[in-house]
Amino acid sequence: MTRLTLVILLSSACVFAQQKASAEKEAAMKADMAGQIDGMKKQAQVMVDSVFSFGELGFQEFETSKYLSAILEKEGFKVERGVAGIPTAFVATWGEGKPVIALGSDIDDIPQASQKPGVAYHDPLIEGAPGHGEGHNSGMPLQILAALAAKRVMEREHLKGTLKIWPGVAEELVGAKAYFVRAGIFKDVDVCLFAHVANDLNVSYGPTNGSGLVSVEYMFKGESAHAAGAPWRGRSALDAVELMSVGYEFRREHLRLATRVHYVITNGGDQPNVVPPNASIWFYFREADYDHIMNLWRIADNMAQGAALMTDTTYTSRLLGTAWPGYFNQPIAEDMFANIKKVGLPQWSEQDQALAKAFQAEMKVPVRGLATRIGELRPPRPQANANGEEGGVGPTGGPSDDIGDISWNVPTVTLRYPSNIPGGPGHNWANAISMATPIAHKGVVAGAKVQAMTILDILLHPELVQRAWDYFNNVQTKDVKYKSFLRPSDQPALFLNQKIMEQYRERMKAFYYNPAKYDTYLEQLGIQYPTVRHVQ
């Protein structure tokens, strides 16, 4: 053996030993974080149950926002409130220097989804009131646990980096994230780790199967008249609304399979004997990409113009929300998935499974209980032509989340964590059933561990951030560049849901969770866990 070979061998053995030592140290740090998060189980339960009990709709998340930002402030985060001109939005920052890691999750709930937790059938806390029928009460508690565990390790090991925690305000209206982007909140961010409730523990990358959208309201103006005495003097704004909706219904057949268009009539007039002088209709226009979404919006403007011509009315319109279709980062997703396999699914109790199975029987879906196996990290579906040409089915449309806007500005992934039960219809009281029970609490704890470990990987491995940006620049945004749907004059639709919350808030206050007095929210409500239908 030559001297040189010996030196090379020794030095590579040394590098190998160093790598092994640092891998061991990393594993120890991750185990420590997981232990810390297990130690915060009580805090997870209190946060999840509290936000569940606030049950606030989009843009009206005042209690939720106050509560979560106060926790972060107490933990040493610097909180900036009212960001992007949205009163319930905030950014809580801790640490210094690069990398900057953004942690976010949605906080708003669903109209008319009030539901007692732990009860496997429809049983509202307050009939008609909003409720967490999407499980958005759990994501920010998850991010807070992960951030606190990361912060402790960063302090102890003197790791450089910045954590930025922000709530997804009014996600059900896709109402805020494009404004966050416009306000520059993600300008200095290296990686965004989002989290969304699910019934499994997983992550994905590439284009999602969901859609992007614009949410637009058309307001028609006519002339009132006695509907029987002088109907010929009236110009019905409601007629215009109906003709516009019928126009879109006819057009529907001649749109791509990826199209999803739906609407509600937000103002249909006052009473039948008065020709409605004002009426309005609110649409979501969903498609697979920017240009096709803009096309649906253009068609709608034509329909509105046609309806106004037919009825001798006039109209104005306003943009109430927007979302780009999501596109998630492969290197970060792969790293996160390795952590998912490390953490594994929660240990479900017999009671957890009994609730899940009773729920599934109630929903008339396969009774298979809660998730017990981690799925795979699958490559995205090949993007075939959406017209169904070239043999492909193409995107067929689906739900939207305005995390899409952030995902086109900074490498982003969405961690899915198992706080819900498989088989719910979504946006429904049924999806609230598990959300203040041990199922939700355990799902949050498992998700927080994955998130904390992924934060650590980003802090310790600058090359991971480098690879994330390579993918972002050279794969994701190679041909597609982000253009906001927002026009300079558009402003957040802060007025949405105001009236509904005014109607219910006082009665809902009686149900706010009091952790000083009750161990759990189930205990406060006097609910036996689980409560299932009595089977004869």
Binding residues for Zn ion, rule: CB under 5 A, are: 134
CB of 172: closest distance to Zn ion in angstroms? 7
CB of 110: closest distance to Zn ion in angstroms? 9
Q: Which is nearer to Zn ion, 381 or 427 (CB)?
A: 427
CB of 59: closest distance to Zn ion in angstroms? 15
Q: Give the Cα separation of 285 and 262 in Å (integer).
A: 7
CA 345 to chain centre: 21
Q: Which is nearer to Zn ion, 171 or 217 (CB)?
A: 171
Q: Which is nearer to Zn ion, 382 or 426 (CB)?
A: 426
Amino acid residing at 225: A
Q: Which is nearer to Zn ion, 134 or 352 (CB)?
A: 134
Strand-strand pairing, 327-328 and 206-207: antiparallel
Q: Which is nearer to Zn ion, 104 or 277 (CB)?
A: 104
Q: Give the Cα separation of 32 and 211 in Å (integer).
A: 39
- How many residues belong to the chain? 536
Q: Give the Cα separation of 64 and 76 in Å (integer).
A: 19
Q: Which residue is nearest to Zn ion (CB)?
A: 134
Q: How far is CA 200 from CA 44, 370, 371, 380, 447, in A?
A: 18, 8, 6, 18, 10
Q: Which is nearer to Zn ion, 162 or 431 (CB)?
A: 431
Q: Which is nearer to Zn ion, 41 or 427 (CB)?
A: 427
CB of 171: closest distance to Zn ion in angstroms? 5
Task: Kindly provide the b/e burial profile for residues 437-449, where b requires at least 16 CB atoms within 10 angstroms of the residue's own CB.
Answer: bbbbbbbbbbbbb
Contact 289, 325 (CB under 8 A): yes
Q: Which is nearer to Zn ion, 235 or 416 (CB)?
A: 416
CB of 501: closest distance to Zn ion in angstroms? 19
Residue in the block written with tokens 């709709």 = 57
CB of 138: closest distance to Zn ion in angstroms? 11
* Residue 349, both tokens: 């109790």
Q: Which is nearer to Zn ion, 237 or 444 (CB)?
A: 444
Strand-strand pairing, 100-106 and 161-168: parallel
Residue 57 DSSP class: B
For 480, phi then psi, to 5°, come to -110, 125
CB of 438: closest distance to Zn ion in angstroms? 21
Q: Give the Cα separation of 119 and 102 in Å (integer).
A: 35
Amino acid residing at 157: E
* Residue 123, both tokens: 């049983």
Among 442, 377, 384, 362, which Cα is nearest to 41's? Answer: 442
CB of 198: closest distance to Zn ion in angstroms? 10
Q: Which is nearer to Zn ion, 134 or 217 (CB)?
A: 134
Q: Which is nearer to Zn ion, 170 or 216 (CB)?
A: 170
CB of 17: closest distance to Zn ion in angstroms? 47
CB of 106: closest distance to Zn ion in angstroms? 5
CB of 503: closest distance to Zn ion in angstroms? 23
Contact 527, 118 (CB under 8 A): yes
Q: Give the Cα separation of 413 and 50 in Å (integer).
A: 27
CB of 324: closest distance to Zn ion in angstroms? 16
Q: Which is nearer to Zn ion, 173 or 468 (CB)?
A: 173
Task: Kindly give the residue spans of alpha helices, DSSP state H, lying in 344-415.
Answer: 350-363, 403-407
With vertex at residue 329, the alpha carbon angle to CA 326 and CA 331, rounded to the nearest 5 degrees, is 165
Residue in the block written with tokens 């957040």 = 492
With vertex at residue 419, the alpha carbon angle to CA 415 and CA 421, rounded to the nearest 5 degrees, is 115
* Residue 353, both tokens: 């499974």
438-460 and 462-471 helices, crossing angle to 10° = 100
